[in-house]
Structure 1
């Protein structure tokens, strides 16, 4: 038996239970992992509440991202051995546990230069940033990007990576303290959306033209002003809805406001093969090892204190990535 954070019903933090679970031995194509560090992602809250588009059958262990050591290897697996350090951003939950079974196709080997904590804090968030700026909309030198939730885990990776590409970055945050964080991580302009109008600032910074791309994980609350921040033929890239779902997209509005492009991006459609997963992880690890990116771990919690972490994140008290320790 191992300890895990489970839910038997969807709901608030009270639904989270610290329980004993049976893991068992891996079947064909599976690995048994012993977790060494576990990542938090905002989608964990959405799953807990039952509002994420793809939900697990209940009861379920939460969490999708972790670093681990391989304890056992199922039949039919090559290239991964007992004792190997691995990391993953899985398609289904199970990471909020001391150990788990997982399909070997979802894990990647960790390079020696990447620590377990960095991997746990980076896999989902870093690979999200990777596909957004390299394969969803590849921002170019001299362009301007508006990044929402810029002080979060994905947001800080976006700011750093875009800056390294020579892109001018306008980041939005929810407090003045977080403005300093993003300015230290690649943003050229920081906007407190609670006290400042990011649409007006985007227009001012671009001399009335508008930004080339918006990377948005906020959703409903920022949508209209984000659309109005874009230049003609600009790209609205939505990859999350922390404030609630977007309104129905009006194609006529996109046309009238500048022949704009809109995409609802999801990592699972940018990792349709094992090769895409490996390439994305390799690009991320190389950027971290080479100093192009740094993983900002803003806070750490013991796994059994997961309810405190969920509350802190939901109330905007965190910065950067959050890691659970075992």
Structure 2
């Protein structure tokens, strides 16, 4: 058994309610399960719930070599999307390409212009976990595109006038895993799909 949404999980002893517990596969080491569970469920809701990634979509993923970014890249690629990755070093950009990204860009270049040039119109979906780059993520969208913000690793996002989104019919969606872990059946279903993706080779362990 395991859990995701229980506070103080770093403690030696943790009290979890029965509805917070999920059954885990027996053929994966505990350390691997612990490494995958939270990041994997986060990536899963991002591609399934915040927006539904479909075959043929163009997707921008920030911090694409990080724990969640790596999995979003793999999941979106497995669904048939074309992933454009952002990463801070050559090694991380190469890792993003190995995980399925069709292109990888450096934060120090004009990546918005490069994404727009590569896609011809901008991406359908931009995943932003940096926060301070929110305006650039929006600028990289095609008309009618959506940015999903689910973190602020680089700092607090800027305030945005909603009227600025009218031109281009763009949108911003907030993302938080705890919204979707609201009953035991739902938790278990998500965990089962996550490890099914691992067994099928659509995602890999860290």
- TM class by smaller structure: over 0.9
Question: CA–CA distance in 2 between the matches of 1:136 and 1:281?
Answer: 17
Out of 185, 196, 202, the position equivalent to 1:286 is 196
RMSD: 1.3
Equivalent position of 1:154 in the other structure: 68
Structure that is richer in strand per residue: 1
Q: CA deviation at 1:107?
A: 2.0
Question: Residue deviations 1:225-273, cap 9 Å, x none?
Answer: 11100001101100111111212232111112x1111111111112222
Tell me if structure 1 keeps the 8 A contact 2:62–2:128: yes
Q: Does 1:114 align with 2:52?
A: no
SS in 1 for 2:83: strand
Tell me if structure 2 keeps the 8 A contact 1:150–1:159: yes
Out of 125, 150, 159, the position equivalent to 1:248 is 159
SS in 2 for 1:145: strand
Q: CA deviation at 1:91?
A: 4.3
Q: CA deviation at 1:223?
A: 1.0
Q: Does 1:143 align with 2:57?
A: yes
SS in 2 for 1:248: coil
Tell me if structure 2 keeps the 8 A contact 1:157–1:295: no
Q: CA deviation at 1:104?
A: 2.4
Equivalent position of 2:174 in the other structure: 264
Structure 2 unaligned spans of 5+ = none
Out of 73, 88, 111, the position equivalent to 2:3 is 88
When Rg is computed on C-alpha atoms for both structures, the one with the higher figure is 1
Equivalent position of 2:115 in the other structure: 202
Out of 100, 124, 128, the position equivalent to 1:216 is 128
TM-score (norm 2): 0.95
Tell me if structure 1 keeps the 8 A contact 2:22–2:184: no
**Count of aligned positions:** 206
**Comparing both chains, which one has the higher relative contact order based on Cα–Cα distances under 8 Å and sequence gaps of 6 or more?**
2
Q: CA deviation at 1:139?
A: 1.4
Equivalent position of 1:182 in the other structure: 96
Q: CA deviation at 1:211?
A: 0.2
Out of 142, 150, 161, the position equivalent to 1:239 is 150
Question: CA–CA distance in 2 between the matches of 1:261 and 1:113?
Answer: 41
Question: CA–CA distance in 2 between the matches of 1:98 and 1:91?
Answer: 13
Structure 1 unaligned spans of 5+ = 1-85, 297-326
Q: CA deviation at 1:217?
A: 0.8
Question: CA–CA distance in 2 between the matches of 1:198 and 1:215?
Answer: 14
Equivalent position of 1:193 in the other structure: 107
Tell me if structure 2 keeps the 8 A contact 1:210–1:231: yes
SS in 2 for 1:151: coil
Q: Does 1:226 align with 2:140?
A: no
TM-score (norm 1): 0.61
Q: How does 1:70-85 map to 2 (within 5 A)?
A: none
Structure that is richer in helix per residue: 2
Q: CA deviation at 1:89?
A: 1.3
